[in-house]
Structure 1
Amino acid sequence: MSGNTKFVEAAAATAPVTVVGAGPTGIETAGELAEAGRTVTLVCGGMLGPYLHPRGRRSVARRLARLGVTVFDGPDTKVTAVTRDAVRLADGRELRSEVTIRTAGFGVPDLAGRSGLSTDALGRLLADESLTSVDDVRIVAAGDSAAPSDLPFRMSCQAATRIGAHAADTVLARIAGDRPTPINLGFFGHCISLGRRAGLFQFASSNDTANGLYIGGGLGAKLKEFACEHTVEHLTNEARKPGSLTRVTDDKRQELLRAGRGRAPATR
């Protein structure tokens, strides 16, 4: 968002702004701009909040509507062209847009591939369940660049904090000459800001599948703020006392591993 701030600020207050992409970043960007008084259109290119349960998705849609965001969703809303003053959709519609912001997701650095290491289709380093490269035990992967057992975790602070801590545990185990342990990571859910006064906490099962439970409104916003404020604190506590980060077992992942779905070998 920060890279687009100067363009939004330079545009007239009534200038139409289009946000392309309706994942968490797109939803949050649209909500923030609309709450600030901007005329915002959110082009989903498919489904609004694909991760969300239908109940949570309806809550998000209602909040965006209250903020005045116009939402275009469905299979015909893929963006085919962006010009200086318009956005063209797959069904031929053309939306006037003075400022267009793309929220198209993230990429993976190509370091692993350029180094000749085994990667998945997106370039993430293939590792075993201890996060050790399948090619070299001296290489440990962490974060969004890792694909343990070719079953990568969703990009999130939940995954990042725990994967980072586990990578450190693996390094320390190898230094001590011990066998590193497999990662044990399940999910709690997903939180999204909807402006500064509302949010949504979407609960999920441990395998990261959203369920029908969610907390919205002002309490949802407080939960999102709590998560942001305490992420660094969680890492500090983990450094002081390894293993203090709450871990939830993903039973579905364990089933996939037992069934041989992961391509990487077991922890060595």
Structure 2
Amino acid sequence: MTTTNRTEHTLQVLVLGAGYAGLMAALRLAPHARVTLIDPSDRFTERVRLHELAAGRTDVTHPLSRFLRSTGVSHIAARATAIDPAAREVTTDDGRRLPYDRLVYALGSRTATAHAGERAHTPESAAALHKRLQDGPGSVAVVGGGLTGIELATELAESHPEWTVRLHSAGDIGESLSPRGRDHVRTVLGARGVRIEEGHRVVHADELDADAVVWAASMIPNSELAAAAGLTLDPSGRIAVDEALRSVSHPEVYVAGDAAAAGTRRAGTLRMACATAIPTGAHAAASVIAESRGREPRPLNFRFFAQCVSLGRHDGLVQPVHADDTPHARVLTGRPAALAKEQVVRSTVRFLSLVGRRSRRQAPPA
């Protein structure tokens, strides 16, 4: 009888997406709710390592079971195809209709590929890009002078010196960096033989004389499912949320990661990044828990600290930033920066594993 009563009053939470934000939210919620994680893959992908996968790294994924084991979180290997806020149900591509009391929307973002052409690749298709590079020497054009494009260009030039690499940017490369940081990036790209072409926006792959084109120019949120369900979006296409990361139109839906138009007074609007996905995933979980206990959730408290860029396997850049992500003048470069970036990347998986272990210790008896 005791078990039945506990089950009847357990909050049912669905989490859509098993990336940085969704996995964090599911693990944090596990001791406090009945959590179902919906994602078609049974593996967690280190998205921040996709440029390494393109260059030849064997694998950048980890089995979800490594994090979810004995936490009580159920994983459904399916894709969410519809949300019915009135019925509080999610439909999946295998025909299930899953009820929820609260929904955490953490479907992230993807690289914008409009007018990309048949030769084009994205960081998400890194494995296919690596296979293409193995077919033989040629020329590759990376489109996008932001941090993702910089990492891809340097990684590909270092790992595939037989290929000619160009980096195309509509503005200056590394615009988010300090002058000293941009100078270091230019020096490293030049040393790797990467040709930089700035001041021209590439619209279609056919504009470029290259055997392969890699698009890394901009990210767009995976918010189509939310829009179809009637959730309010902001002008950028991200889901409009309040300070607790609740949808402003459907407060039973919490949004974490790149799909959320989240912001704080100190940081401003949060950029799409692993650095913001994990904290917003944790905060969405904390807000659900607080609400379930009859308390008003606290506002998101976040500030930026640094931008970390890998420049191949032996060089890097750590750009300290102000709370609003604007750069300080000082930078860390070279091998120490490469080691620092690697530790930051490793720490994300370690932290998720740690949260999983804590959830296992706190999990209620079956």
Quickly name the TM-score band, shorter chain normalised.
0.7 to 0.9
Q: Structure 1 or 2: larger strand share?
A: 2
> C-alpha separation between the residues in 2 aligned to 1:199 and 1:50?
16
> C-alpha separation between the residues in 1 aligned to 2:314 and 2:339?
9
Q: Which residue of 1 aligns with 2:139?
A: 16
Of stretches 159-168 and 104-113 in structure 1, the one that deviates more from structure 2 is 104-113
> C-alpha separation between the residues in 1 aligned to 2:235 and 2:244?
21
Q: Which runs of 5+ in 2 are unaligned?
A: 1-122, 360-366
Q: Deviations over 1:95-138 (max 9, x none)?
A: x3122211132221212211111110122111110111112221
Q: Which residue of 1 aligns with 2:321?
A: 204
Task: Please state if 1:99 is matched with 2:212.
Answer: yes
Change (3 A) 1:241 1:184: farther
Deviation at 1:55, TM superposition (A): 1.2
Deviation at 1:24, TM superposition (A): 1.4
Deviation at 1:233, TM superposition (A): 2.1
1:114-133 map, 5 Å = 114-133=228-247
Kept in 1: contact 2:141–2:210 (CA 8 A) = yes
Change (3 A) 1:39 1:147: same
Which letter does structure 1 place at the counterpart of 2:217?
Answer: A
> C-alpha separation between the residues in 2 aligned to 1:240 and 1:178?
26
Q: Which residue of 2 aligns with 1:145?
A: 259
SS at match of 1:117: coil
Task: Please state if 1:134 is matched with 2:248.
Answer: yes
Q: Which residue of 1 aligns with 2:301?
A: 184
Q: Deviations over 1:210-246 (max 9, x none)?
A: 111111110111011001100122234456679xxxx
Of stretches 98-107 and 224-233 in structure 1, the one that deviates more from structure 2 is 98-107
User: What TM-score do you get using the length of structure 2 for normalisation?
Assistant: 0.59
SS at match of 1:41: strand
Aligned residues: 228
Change (3 A) 1:181 1:39: same
Deviation at 1:80, TM superposition (A): 4.2
2:343 to 221, 226, 229: 226
> C-alpha separation between the residues in 2 aligned to 1:201 and 1:40?
24
Task: Please state if 1:7 is matched with 2:132.
Answer: yes
Task: Please state if 1:78 is matched with 2:201.
Answer: yes
Kept in 1: contact 2:263–2:270 (CA 8 A) = no
Change (3 A) 1:206 1:149: closer
Which letter does structure 2 place at the counterpart of 1:107?
Answer: I
Deviation at 1:139, TM superposition (A): 1.1
Kept in 2: contact 1:165–1:238 (CA 8 A) = no
Change (3 A) 1:206 1:221: same
Q: Which residue of 1 aligns with 2:221?
A: 108
User: What TM-score do you get using the length of structure 1 for normalisation?
Assistant: 0.79
SS at match of 1:211: coil
> C-alpha separation between the residues in 2 aligned to 1:165 and 1:55?
34
Q: Deviations over 1:33-92 (max 9, x none)?
A: 111212111111211012111110111000111111111112xx2224433xx61xxxxx
2:151 to 20, 28, 34: 28
Deviation at 1:149, TM superposition (A): 6.2
Q: Which structure would you say has the larger RCO, counting Cα contacts within 8 Å and 6 or more residues apart?
A: 2
> C-alpha separation between the residues in 2 aligned to 1:125 and 1:80?
26
SS at match of 1:97: coil
Q: Which residue of 1 aligns with 2:183?
A: 58
Kept in 2: contact 1:22–1:47 (CA 8 A) = yes
Change (3 A) 1:33 1:149: closer
> C-alpha separation between the residues in 1 aligned to 2:153 and 2:240?
35
Q: Which runs of 5+ in 1 are unaligned?
A: 88-95, 243-268
> C-alpha separation between the residues in 2 aligned to 1:210 and 1:239?
34
